C-alpha cells in the first residue's frame, strides 16, 4: 500500500430498496469518519435502476428486442415494442414524479391516458369490469391523486421490469436480482457460471457505474455490503470489474447475507473476487483490516475474517480475540454522498405497513443491538446480530437523531431493531419530548404486556406512527412451542392499546410451523379475523415458515417433532433447510386462502363471514369462541 491515508469506499450493490438507501454503508461510513478515516459511499443499486429506466436505457432494451427472432418475443416484449414511443416519451417525467420532483404530473397519470399500460394493469381492468366502477376507488377515494398516481406509475415500472426480464436478463427483479444463484446455495458453481457468462445490458451498465465510482474516489479498499441473496450476484460482478480495473484495490465482502449464509465458507473461488470476507458487525473487523493493510497488524490478528491462504491452498478463518466496539460508541450514520433527492417513492402492494417500506425516504437507525428476548424457535438466535444485546442511552440516541435530521433535512425514522425494547423506547420518547423534537418513527416490537395504554400514548406523542410485531401462528399452543412469550389474548390487548393511541399496527403472521394442523390454521385465521374486526390490527402478512440452520428448530428438530432433510456437502452458502413434518398438511394450499382472507380483512371486507369460506378445500370449523378477542379486551378493562 502507498503512504497516503487509506481511502475506503462502501458500495450498495443491486438490488435493494429504491425508496431509501440500505443503511449498512451509512453506518460504516459514519463510524469510519468518527475515527478520522477517509470514507465515501455510493448506491449502485439506485444508479443502475435510474440508468436502466431512462430514455437511453429503454432505447437499448428496444434495440435488443429487434435483434431477437420473432418467435422469441413474449407478450410483455410485444406490448413494449408496440407502445415504445409512449414509453420513451414518458419514462423521464415518470421517474421525476416518483422522485417527488414533479407532483403536478399526478393529474395526467391518474387520467389513465398518459402512461402506456401493459399486463400489470390487467387486474385493475378485471376489477373494473366486475364491479362496474373505478377499480381504485376503494383504496384512494375520489381524492388521493398523488397516491393513486404513484401506484399506477409503480405498475408501469413493473411492466418495464417484465420486459427487462424477458429481453436482457431473466434474473432481474427490483429486489431479488439473481437471488437463486446465492440463496442457500451449497456450491459456488451456479454463481461462477453466471459470472463467466457474457455480460448482459445490466452488467454493462454496472461496469460503467463501477468504473466511475473507482475513478471518482480512488479507493484503496472497497467494502461491498450484501444484505440479501438478491444483491450477491451484482456484488460479485462489481468486485470482478474492480479487479479488472486495478487488482491492487483490496475488496471486502460483508453484510447480512454473509453473516447468515457464509459462516462455513470453504470455496476458494470467492477469493478471486474478494480479498477478505468478514462476519457480523463490520466495525471491528474493518479497523483490524485497515491496521493490517498499513502493516500495523499481522494477518493472524484479523477479526472475524475469511481469507485465502496461498501456502495451504485453502480458505482460513481468522478471529483474533478482541472485545467488540460497544453499541454506544459506533457513531452516527451519515448519508453524505448518497443522492437523497433521487430515490423513488413506489406504491406497489396496497398494504398499509408495506407502503412504509417502499414509499418515502426513511432515515434508518437502531435503538438497541440484538434482541433482548432472543428465545423464538424460528429465529437465528445463535447469531451475533440477535444474541449480543446492547443498548445506548436515550441521550446518545436522540443526539444521533438530531444529527441525522440536520444532515438530511428529513424527520422520518425507521428503527430497524429486531425487537425494540420497551424500556429503551420509553426513555427515547421522554428524551424526544424533553428536547421538543418533532419526528415521525416506526419500528418492530414484541407484543408484550410492558406496552401499556399509557406507554403506547407516550410513544404516539413522541412521533410513533406505526409498529409491527410477530403474532406468528395465532395459536397459544404453537406460540408456547415457539417460545414467543406471549398469548393471543395478550396480543389483543397490546395491539388495541397501540391502535387506541392512533398507531398503525401490523402483525407478522406465519403458517407451516412444525406440527401445525389444519385445525390450528383455521383457528389462527379466526383469531386474525377477530383482531381486525375489533380494531386491534390494521395490517398483516402471512409468511411461510422457513427453517434455518441457526434457529432452535434447525439445531434441535427433535424438540419440534420434525426431521431435517439431509444437506449436501456445503462449500458456499448454508441457511435454509428442508424438513419432514409427519403431520403431512398441505400448507401451500392453505396459504392461498390465508392470504386471500387477509387481503380482504385489510380492506374491511369479509369480517362477518365464516373463515371456512376462504378455503377451497374442506376444513373443520373453528374451535375459537366468536367473542374470544372481545372478551380478552373486556377482561383487561375490568381489571
User: Residue 466 pLDDT > 70, yes or no?
Assistant: yes
The DSSP call for residue 299 is: G
Q: Exposed (0-12), middle (13-18) or buried (19+): which is 237, by Cβ within 10 Å? A: buried
Cα–Cα distance for residue pair 46/27, rounded to 1 Å: 18
- Tell me the pairing of strands 539-544 and 363-365: unpaired
Predicted local confidence at residue 360, as pLDDT: 83
Which has the closest alpha carbon to 115: 146, 73, 160?
160
The DSSP call for residue 332 is: -
122 CB neighbour count, 10 Å cutoff: 11
Q: Exposed (0-12), middle (13-18) or buried (19+): which is 407, by Cβ within 10 Å? A: middle
Predicted local confidence at residue 15, as pLDDT: 93
CA 555 to chain centre: 25
Bridge-partner residues for 250, per DSSP? 221
The radius of gyration of the chain from alpha carbons, rounded to an integer in Å, stands at: 25
**Listed range (69-83, 341-355, 429-443, 518-532) with the worst mean pLDDT:** 341-355
Predicted local confidence at residue 123, as pLDDT: 75
Mean pLDDT rounded to a whole number for the chain:
93
- The model's pLDDT over 220-249, given as tens digits with 9 standing for 90+, comes to 999 999 999 999 999 999 999 999 999 999
pTM: 0.94
Predicted local confidence at residue 122, as pLDDT: 85
User: Residue 134 pLDDT > 70, yes or no?
Assistant: no
Fold of domain 7-45+180-328: Rossmann fold (3.40.50)
**Listed range (171-175, 306-310, 623-627) with the worst mean pLDDT:** 171-175
Predicted local confidence at residue 1, as pLDDT: 46
Chain region(s) in the chain for CATH 3.40.50.280: 7-45+180-328
Predicted local confidence at residue 472, as pLDDT: 92
**Residue that the C-alpha cell 375520489 belongs to:** 142
**Residue that the C-alpha cell 458453481 belongs to:** 189
Q: Average pLDDT of 53-57?
A: 98
Chain region(s) in the chain for CATH 3.80.30.20: 349-547+589-638
User: Residue 11 pLDDT > 60, yes or no?
Assistant: yes
User: Residue 637 pLDDT > 60, yes or no?
Assistant: no
Q: Where are the beta strands (DSSP E) in 126-246?
A: 221-225
Q: Average pLDDT of 84-98?
A: 98
DSSP 75-132: HHHHHHHHTHHHHHHHHHHHHHHHTTS-GGGHHHHHTTSSS---GGGHHHHHHHHHHT
Q: Average pLDDT of 564-587?
A: 92
Contact in structure between 510 and 595 (CB atoms under 8 Å): no
The DSSP call for residue 560 is: G
Q: Mapping DSSP to helix (H, G, I), strand (E, B) and coil, where does residue 543 land? A: strand
Predicted local confidence at residue 348, as pLDDT: 79
Predicted local confidence at residue 12, as pLDDT: 95
Predicted local confidence at residue 133, as pLDDT: 58
Cα–Cα distance for residue pair 410/208, rounded to 1 Å: 31
Q: Average pLDDT of 279-290?
A: 98
Can you state the percent helix, strand and coil of the chain, rounding each to 5? 50, 15, 40
**Residue that the C-alpha cell 397501540 belongs to:** 498
Bridge-partner residues for 579, per DSSP? 564
The HSE-up count of residue 594 (CA atoms within 13 Å, CB side) is: 28
User: Residue 274 pLDDT > 80, yes or no?
Assistant: yes
- The model's pLDDT over 403-455, given as tens digits with 9 standing for 90+, comes to 999 999 999 999 999 999 999 999 999 999 999 999 999 999 999 999 999 99
Predicted local confidence at residue 583, as pLDDT: 83
Q: Which grid cell sits at 10?
A: 462502501
DSSP 228-262: SGGGHHHHHHHHHHHHHH-TTSEEEEESHHHHHH-
Which has the closest alpha carbon to 368: 348, 345, 388?
388
User: Residue 616 pLDDT > 90, yes or no?
Assistant: yes
Contact in structure between 79 and 167 (CB atoms under 8 Å): no
Fold of domain 349-547+589-638: pyruvate-formate lyase- activating enzyme (3.80.30)
What b/e string do you get for 350-364 counting C-beta neighbours within 10 Å, with b at 16 or more? bbebebbbbbbbbbb
Q: Average pLDDT of 297-308?
A: 97
Contact in structure between 632 and 492 (CB atoms under 8 Å): yes
Q: Which grid cell sits at 48?
A: 443502475
- Tell me the pairing of strands 539-544 and 504-511: parallel
Length of the chain measured in residues: 639
Supply φ then ψ for residue 543, to 5 degrees: -105, 145
Q: Average pLDDT of 460-487?
A: 95
Q: Exposed (0-12), middle (13-18) or buried (19+): which is 610, by Cβ within 10 Å? A: exposed
Amino acid at each position: 500500500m502507498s503512504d497516503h491515508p487509506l481511502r475506503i469506499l462502501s458500495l450498495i450493490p443491486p438490488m435493494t430498496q429504491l425508496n431509501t438507501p440500505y443503511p449498512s454503508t451509512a453506518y460504516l461510513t459514519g463510524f469510519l469518519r468518527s475515527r478520522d478515516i477517509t470514507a465515501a459511499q455510493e448506491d449502485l443499486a439506485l444508479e443502475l435502476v435510474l440508468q436502466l429506466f431512462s430514455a437511453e436505457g429503454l432505447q437499448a432494451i428496444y434495440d435488443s428486442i429487434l435483434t431477437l427472432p420473432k418467435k422469441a418475443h413474449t407478450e410483455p416484449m410485444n406490448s413494449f415494442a408496440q407502445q415504445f414511443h409512449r414509453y420513451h416519451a414518458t419514462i423521464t417525467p415518470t421517474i421525476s414524479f416518483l422522485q417527488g420532483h414533479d407532483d403536478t404530473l399526478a393529474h395526467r397519470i391518474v387520467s389513465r391516458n398518459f402512461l402506456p399500460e401493459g399486463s400489470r394493469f390487467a387486474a385493475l381492468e378485471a376489477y373494473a369490469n366486475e364491479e362496474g366502477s373505478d377499480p381504485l376507488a376503494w383504496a384512494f377515494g375520489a381524492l388521493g391523486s398523488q397516491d393513486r398516481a404513484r401506484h399506477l406509475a409503480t405498475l408501469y415500472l413493473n411492466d418495464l421490469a417484465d420486459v427487462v426480464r424477458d429481453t436482457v436478463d431473466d434474473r432481474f427483479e427490483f429486489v431479488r436480482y439473481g437471488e437463486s444463484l446465492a440463496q442457500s446455495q451449497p456450491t459456488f458453481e451456479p454463481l461462477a457460471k453466471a459470472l463467466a457468462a457474457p455480460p448482459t445490458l445490466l452488467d454493462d451498465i454496472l461496469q460503467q457505474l463501477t468504473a466511475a465510482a473507482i475513478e471518482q474516489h480512488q479507493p484503496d479498499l472497497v467494502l461491498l455490503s450484501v444484505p440479501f441473496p438478491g444483491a450477491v450476484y451484482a456484488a460479485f460482478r462489481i468486485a470482478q470489474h474492480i479487479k479488472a480495473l486495478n487488482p491492487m484495490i483490496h475488496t471486502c465482502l460483508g453484510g447480512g447475507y454473509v453473516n447468515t449464509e457464509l459462516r462455513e465458507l470453504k470455496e476458494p473461488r470467492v477469493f478471486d473476487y474478494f480479498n477478505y470476507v468478514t462476519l457480523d458487525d463490520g466495525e471491528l473487523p474493518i479497523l483490524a483490516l485497515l491496521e493490517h493493510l498499513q502493516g500495523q497488524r499481522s494477518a493472524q490478528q484479523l477479526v472475524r475474517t475469511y481469507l485465502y491462504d496461498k501456502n495451504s491452498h485453502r480458505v482460513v478463518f481468522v478471529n483474533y480475540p478482541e472485545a467488540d466496539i460497544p453499541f454506544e460508541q459506533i457513531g452516527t450514520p451519515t448519508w453524505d454522498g448518497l443522492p437523497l433527492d433521487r430515490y423513488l417513492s413506489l406504491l406497489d402492494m396496497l398494504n398499509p405497513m408495506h407502503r412504509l417500506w417502499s414509499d418515502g425516504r426513511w432515515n434508518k437507525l437502531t435503538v438497541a443491538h440484538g434482541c433482548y428476548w432472543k428465545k423464538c424457535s424460528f429465529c437465528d438466535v445463535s447469531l451475533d446480530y440477535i444474541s449480543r444485546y446492547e443498548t445506548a442511552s436515550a441521550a446518545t440516541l436522540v443526539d444521533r437523531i438530531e444529527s441525522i435530521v440536520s444532515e438530511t433535512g428529513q424527520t422520518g425514522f425507521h428503527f430497524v431493531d429486531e425487537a425494540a425494547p420497551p424500556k429503551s423506547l420509553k426513555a427515547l420518547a421522554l428524551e424526544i419530548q424533553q428536547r421538543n423534537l418533532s419526528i415521525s418513527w416506526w419500528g418492530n416490537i414484541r407484543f408484550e404486556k410492558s406496552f401499556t395504554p399509557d406507554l403506547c400514548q407516550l410513544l404516539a406523542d413522541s412521533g410513533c406512527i406505526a409498529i409491527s410485531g410477530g403474532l406468528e401462528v395465532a395459536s397459544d399452543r404453537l406460540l408456547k412451542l415457539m417460545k414467543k412469550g406471549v398469548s393471543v389474548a395478550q396480543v389483543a390487548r397490546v395491539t388495541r392499546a397501540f391502535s387506541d393511541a392512533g398507531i398503525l399496527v401490523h402483525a407478522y403472521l406465519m403458517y407451516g410451523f412444525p406440527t401445525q394442523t389444519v385445525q390450528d390454521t383455521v383457528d389462527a385465521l379466526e383469531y386474525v379475523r377477530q383482531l381486525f374486526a375489533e380494531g386491534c390490527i390494521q395490517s398483516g402478512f402471512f409468511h411461510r415458515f422457513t427453517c434455518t440452520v441457526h434457529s432452535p428448530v434447525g439445531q434441535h428438530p427433535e424438540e419440534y417433532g420434525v426431521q431435517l432433510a439431509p444437506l449436501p456437502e456445503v462449500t458456499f452458502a448454508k441457511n435454509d433447510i428442508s424438513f419432514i413434518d409427519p403431520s403431512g398438511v398441505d400448507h401451500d394450499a392453505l396459504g392461498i386462502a390465508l392470504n386471500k382472507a387477509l387481503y380482504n380483512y385489510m380492506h374491511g371486507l369479509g369480517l362477518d363471514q365464516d373463515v371456512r369460506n376462504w378455503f377451497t378445500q374442506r376444513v373443520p370449523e373453528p374451535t375459537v369462541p366468536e367473542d374470544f378477542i372481545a372478551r380478552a379486551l373486556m377482561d383487561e378493562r375490568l381489571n
